Each structure stands twice: as C-alpha cells, then as structure tokens.
A and B are shown apart, each in its own frame.
Chain A
Amino acid sequence: MQKPPQSASSTSNSPRKKVIRNIFLLFGLLFAAMIGNTLYVTYQGEKSARENHYKTLKAKLNILTALQNNALEKLNIVSGIVREQNQQYCNFLDYDNVAAIHFMLKSLATIHSIDLACVFDEYGDLLTSYPKGQNKINVYPSILNDQRQRVSVEAIPGEMVKTHLPELAAFVQSPEALCFKSVIPLLHDTGDIYGYVILIKLINGNETLARQMARIAEAEVVYYDQYDKVALTSFPNRSIPYPDQDKSSGRWTRLFYFPEENRRFHRAVHRHPCGRHQ
C-alpha cells in the first residue's frame, strides 16, 4: 500500500514554511537592529549635542565672567586715580572742605561714569556724596562694614539707590541692589586712615553692560540677586521668574544664561560670593 499524498505535500511544505519563517525572523532581526541602531545613534547624537551645548554654555559663561571682570578692572583703574588723589582728599578733609571734596567726586563720577561716589570719615560717617541723597537715611554704615581696600561685586541697600539714584530705583526689586563696589581708604601722612572713598557702579539697570554681554556672548543674559529677583537682563521683559529647580546656597549670586539660537530654557550657574554672606 502506498502512503497517501497528503503526507508528501506536508513534507514539501515544511521547508518552505521554514524558509519563510527564517526570512521573517531575519527581517525581524534586521528591523530590531535598525531600531536599535537608530536609538543608539539618536542617544549618542543627543549626548554629543548635550556635551557640545554644555561646552558652548561654559564658554559663554566664561565670556560673561571675563566681561564682569573687565567692569571690575575699569573700576579698579578709577580707584587708582582716587588713590593718587589721596593727598588732596586729606588736605580738604583737614579743612573740612566738603564742598571741594564734593566737586572732586562729581568730576570723577561724571568722567568715569560712576553711579555713586561717597566719602566717609574715619568713623564711617558720610561726609558727602555725588549724587547727593534726597533723604537722610541710616543705612550707610552697612556699606562700610568691611573697611578693607577692595574692588568686588557686592550688594548695597536698595534704600541707598532710592535716595541717591531715584532714576534707577525701578530696577531694584529686592531690599538690596547688586553693584561693582570699590572701597578706598584715605591715608593720612601719619599712616592713619583718615576716611574712605566708596565708588559704586550699579549692576541693577546697567543696560550698557547687559547689551555688551549679550552682543559679545551672543546670548541673552539674566542676573539674579540673592533674593532670586532679576537684577539685570538683556531681555526686553524684565519679569523672568527664577527657575526653582536645583537651587544652590542662598549666599551665592547666580548668573543664568539663555542661548539666543533657540529660546528653549537652558541654564548654567555662575557663582560669585556676594557682599552679604549669610
């Protein structure tokens, strides 16, 4: 007896099915490999883009830091002029010639674009300032708490800005304003400190600095003060909320950076110690 043809057809179908299955399997593997490769390439690409972007951010932050240091250096040069005039200041102080000192401050501030220049006596009492204050305030001792000679980024009471620079008061949203500050002790012939000259260039509302930073770093810049309020920005709209995540210690002033090419939120943190350490 012969076997039925059914069994023959099943043996002839089996290799075909096997081949088809294998082909599907291979295609499946191929697709899986392609998808895997795409994912890997995308991941690598994003990683590389992130690294590249981070490097760009860092480079731009370095540019901003350099520009900030440049502003400090400018103030240091003006402080050098004051140090050269030390004898004149002392002579006028000998005679309590406040009018002459005021005139000197006025010339200095006008020529070198200093926002506020003050002269204090050896006890830390304000003798005169340019521009003069509109009201009497008692916050002056706080800016002379540290009497060391220095040029640095510090915070001054907002009340001082309101009194001496009312046109810039709108830029101060916190109890304190950020500024470039120089403290120059006046030395008498006897070697004693005879007084102090303090030069202040505000960061709050310093649009020239913001424009310069934005132009050179090709980025929009926002300075936040230690109260997380905008001190200076190159954005036309100044109400930029402080990004909450990853807050660092309250004793630091932060400098955020928004790249211009895409306005997606990016940031990097630049730290510098602020005058008021808490």
Chain B
Amino acid sequence: MVINPTWQKIRVKKIPPKDLEKLIRNENFSILDVRILNKNGNGSFIKGSVSCPLVFLADRYHEIPKAQPIVITDWAMKQSPVAAKFLISKGYSVAGVLKGGTERWESDKLPVEARNPSEMTGSHSSQNGYTVH
C-alpha cells in the first residue's frame, strides 16, 4: 500500500466506542481488526471481530465480504485509518474506524475477548494471517 494524495482526501468517520456498541447491537457490521500481531501485543479483541494485520490487507482484502458495512479497529487507531482508506478505495463500504482503537474500547469496559496473538499468527491463522473468529 502506498499513501498518496488521493488517500489524504478520503475522510474516515471516527466512531466512539459507545456509539459503535450501539451500532453493533442494532445493525449488522463486520469488525475488522488490523493491528500487528506479535506475541508481546495485547490479546484483547472486540468480540466477533475479524483479524487481518494491515501488512497482509493488500493481498487478502478480497476475502473480506462486501455484503456488510465494515468498522475497522486496531489497538490504538494508528493503522485503522489507513486500512479504512485502502478498503474505501477498493469499493468497500466502510462505516468508520473505532476512535481510540481497542485500547479505548477496553478502557471503556466494553466486552472484549482474549486471544493469543502468537497463536493467531501461527497454527490458528490462515496462510496469510487473515484469521476469522
């Protein structure tokens, strides 16, 4: 992925955790987590989220279903805006990114599930790291 001026113009909505929780409750959304997976990383993920590290997204994005709008997250909203812009440019319906990332989601005491990042990058993940839970 290359950041270009066109990307800079794409606006990505930042959804605060409380609003996202309401959205998830009322509508169908796919939650895509694009954080880098490493064994020292935090293992808290939003329940029902799909993990695909940003580095693999360019190769694997076509595996993401286009039927539902997507909300993108990561640990601290460092990679999710880039992923959102990439998917928007590929024609995906991106509802927004989680403001503050999963770190804020967790600090707001919203439901998370523990996963082992090292396992996700190993046997439990698919060849290119796109992992569905």
Contact = CB atoms under 8 A, between A and B. Distances in A.
User: A and B: real partners?
Assistant: yes
Interface of A: 94-96, 122, 188-192
Contacts of A192: 8, 12, 81
Given A94-B76, A94-B104, A96-B16, A191 B3 contact: yes
Given A94-B101, A95-B104, A192-B12, 6 more contacts: A94-B76, A95-B100, A95-B107, A188-B77, A190-B79, A190-B81
Nearest to B12: A192
Contact of B78 (A95, A96, A122, A190): A190
A170 B77 CA distance: 46
A94 B8 contact: no
Contacts of B77: 94, 188
A120 to B, nearest CB: 14
Contacts, number: 25
Interface in B68-114: 76-79, 81-82, 99-101, 104, 107
Contacts of A189: 78
Contacts of A94: 76-77, 99-101, 104
A190 B99 contact: no
A190 B16 contact: no
A122 B96 CA distance: 14
Most-contacted residue by chain B among A95, A122, A190 (CB, 10 A): A190
A96 B78 CA distance: 16
A257 to B, nearest CB: 45
A190 B104 contact: no
A94 B12 CA distance: 14
25 contacts: A94-B76, A94-B77, A94-B99, A94-B100, A94-B101, A94-B104, A95-B100, A95-B104, A95-B107, A96-B16, A96-B99, A96-B100, A122-B11, A188-B77, A188-B81, A189-B78, A190-B78, A190-B79, A190-B81, A190-B82, A191-B3, A191-B8, A192-B8, A192-B12, A192-B81
A277 B5 CA distance: 28
Interface of B: 3, 8, 11-12, 16, 76-79, 81-82, 99-101, 104, 107
Most-contacted residue by chain A among B3, B81, B101 (CB, 10 A): B81
The 9 closest A-B pairs by CB, nearest first: A94-B100, A190-B81, A189-B78, A95-B100, A190-B82, A95-B104, A192-B81, A94-B77, A96-B16
A213 B99 CA distance: 48
A122 B11 CA distance: 9
A122 B79 CA distance: 18
Contacts of A96: 16, 99-100
Nearest to A121: B14
Contacts of B76: 94
A258 B107 CA distance: 62
Contacts of A122: 11
B54 to A, nearest CB: 11
A148 to B, nearest CB: 14
A50 B75 CA distance: 72
A205 B69 CA distance: 53
A86 to B, nearest CB: 14
A96 B100 CA distance: 9
Nearest to B79: A190
A122 B100 CA distance: 15
Contacts of B3: 191
A142 B65 CA distance: 42
Contacts of B79: 190
A125 to B, nearest CB: 12
A144 to B, nearest CB: 15
